[in-house]
Amino acid sequence: MAVRLKNLNEQVMVITGATSGIGLVTSRMAAKRGAKLVLAARNEDALRTLTNEINASGVKAVYIAADVGKEGDIKKIAAEALSQFGNFDTWVNNAGVSIYGKLEEVPTEDSRQLFETNFWGLVYGSLIAARTLKISGGALINIGSTLSDRAIPLQGMYCASKHAVKGFTDSLRMELESENAPVSVTLIKPAAIDTPYKEHAKNYLGVEPENPPPVYAPETVAETILHCAENPVRDVFVGAGGKALSLLGKFAPRTTDKYMEAAMIDMQKSDKPTNGESNDGLYDASDLTLNERGGYEGHVAESSIYTKASLHPFITGAAFAIGAAGIAYALMSRGDKDAVYVSQRALEEESRRKSLESVGDEALSGRSHIY
**With 0-12 CB in 10 A as exposed, 13-18 as middle and 19+ as buried, what is 246?**
buried
Provide the pLDDT for residue 274. 86
- Residue 331 is predicted with a pLDDT of 53
Instruction: Report which secondary-structure segment, H or E, holds 45.
Output: helix 44-56
Alpha carbon of 278 to those of 164, 267, 284: distances in Å? 28, 21, 11
Could you give the residue numbers annotated as active site? 158
The pLDDT score that the predictor gives to residue 313 is 63
Confidence at residue 28, expressed as pLDDT on a 0 to 100 scale: 98
Q: What is the 3-state secondary structure (H, E, C) of 308-330?
A: HHHCCHHHHHHHHHHHHHHHHHH
Q: Count helices and strands (H / E) in the chain.
A: 14, 14
pLDDT at residue number 212: 93
Q: What dotted CATH number matches 8-365?
A: 3.40.50.720
pLDDT, residue 275, reads 72
pLDDT (tens digit, 0 to 9) for every residue of the chain, 371 residues total? 679 999 999 999 999 999 999 999 999 999 999 999 999 999 999 999 999 999 999 999 999 999 999 999 999 999 999 999 999 999 999 999 999 999 999 999 999 999 999 999 999 999 999 999 999 999 999 999 999 999 999 999 999 999 999 999 999 999 999 999 999 999 999 999 999 999 999 999 999 999 999 999 999 999 999 999 999 999 999 999 999 999 999 999 999 999 999 999 999 999 999 875 556 899 988 757 899 999 999 999 999 999 999 998 665 555 555 555 555 555 555 454 444 444 445 554 555 454 444 433 333 333 322 22
Domain boundaries, the chain: 8-365
Please check whether residue 29 is in contact with residue 51, taking contact to mean a CB–CB distance below 8 angstroms. Answer: no
Contact 269, 209 (CB under 8 A): yes
Per-position DSSP letters for 166-202, written without gaps between them: HHHHHHHHHHHHHTT-SEEEEEEEE-EE-STHHHHSE
Amino acid 29: pLDDT: 98
pTM: 0.86
In 143-168, which positions are buried (b, 16+ CB within 10 angstroms) versus exposed (e)?
bbbbbbbbbbebbbbbbbbbbbbbeb
